[in-house]
Structure 1
C-alpha cells in the first residue's frame, strides 16, 4: 500500500469520502456549502498537500497535510480496518519529525486511532477556532530521538 500524490481527478471521490463521513456523523454539523469544500479540496490538492490511497474502486483514503499540520485524514467505510489510515499516517511520520492535528472531542474513534499511533493530547479548546465550533483536542506526535 503506497500513498500517491492526489490529483485533481481524485477530488470528487475524496469529497465523497468526506461528505459521507459528515452525513453519517450525527454530532457533526454541516457548516460549509459543498461548493466551498470543492474549491478548498481542489486548492490543497493543487498545492500538493493531499496524499491518497486507492483500492480497486478508486480513492479509498486520503490525508491532507501542510508540513507538520495534519488537516484531515479520512478512510472510506469500505476500506476501514485494512491499514489505510495507518499507512497514510506512517508516511507522514517518515516525512516529518513532529506532527500535530486537532480532533473533535466527540470523535472518539479518531481520538483512539491517533492515541494508538503515538499522538498525545497537548491541549483542549471550546471550538472557537474551528468551523464547526465544536470542542476539540490538540494532539501531537514527536519522533523519538535515536538512542
Structure 2
C-alpha cells in the first residue's frame, strides 16, 4: 500500500467505473470524465491510498479527514483482503471514521459491519446525487450514539 500518485488516477477511475458498470441498481449521476476528474483531484489533495497486486493498482481508498469518501476494489482482486487492509490503515491514522454507502449495496454493508462499523442512520437518498437510499456508518461503535 502506498499514497497514490497522479499517474494512478486512470487506474483508480477504471476501478470505479468498472463497479458502476457492473452494478445494475446504481444510477450514476456523473459521466466517466467527471469520475476521473474527481479521483484525480483527490489524488492531488493527497487523500488517496492505493493497494497494488501484481504491480498494478487493484484497490483504492480516499480518506478526507475522518470521512471515507470512497473504497473500491477491482473485481479480480476482491476477496484478497485489500479492502480490509486499506480500512485498517485508515483506522490507524484516525480515531474516528465515517462513511456512506447505498442501502442496496449489501456486500459493502456486510464488509463495513465486519470491520466494526455501525449504522448511524439511513436516508431516502434525496440528499445524494444518485437519489438512492443510503446508510451512514461510523467507527468506532460509540460514535453511533
TM-score by length of 2: 0.94
Deviation at 1:130, TM superposition (A): 1.3
For 2:44, the equivalent position in structure 1 comes to 46
CA distance, structure 2, for counterparts of residue 57 and residue 28 of structure 1: 30
Structure 1 residues 143 and 90: CA distance shift in structure 2, 3 A: farther
Task: Indicate whether 1:94 and 2:97 are aligned.
Answer: no
Q: Answer whether contact 2:118 2:141 (CA < 8 A) is retained.
A: no
Q: Answer whether contact 2:117 2:141 (CA < 8 A) is retained.
A: no
Task: Indicate whether 1:29 and 2:27 are aligned.
Answer: yes
Unaligned runs of 5+ in 1: none
Q: Answer whether contact 2:102 2:132 (CA < 8 A) is retained.
A: yes
Deviation at 1:75, TM superposition (A): 0.6
Unaligned runs of 5+ in 2: none
Q: Answer whether contact 1:97 1:143 (CA < 8 A) is retained.
A: no
Deviation at 1:89, TM superposition (A): 0.1
Tell me the C-alpha RMSD between the 2 structures: 1.2
Task: Indicate whether 1:55 and 2:21 are aligned.
Answer: no
Q: Answer whether contact 1:98 1:143 (CA < 8 A) is retained.
A: no
Alignment deviations for residues 52-83 of structure 1 (CA, whole Å, 9 cap, x no partner): 00111510000011011001001111111111
Q: Answer whether contact 1:60 1:76 (CA < 8 A) is retained.
A: yes
Deviation at 1:30, TM superposition (A): 2.2
TM-score by length of 1: 0.93
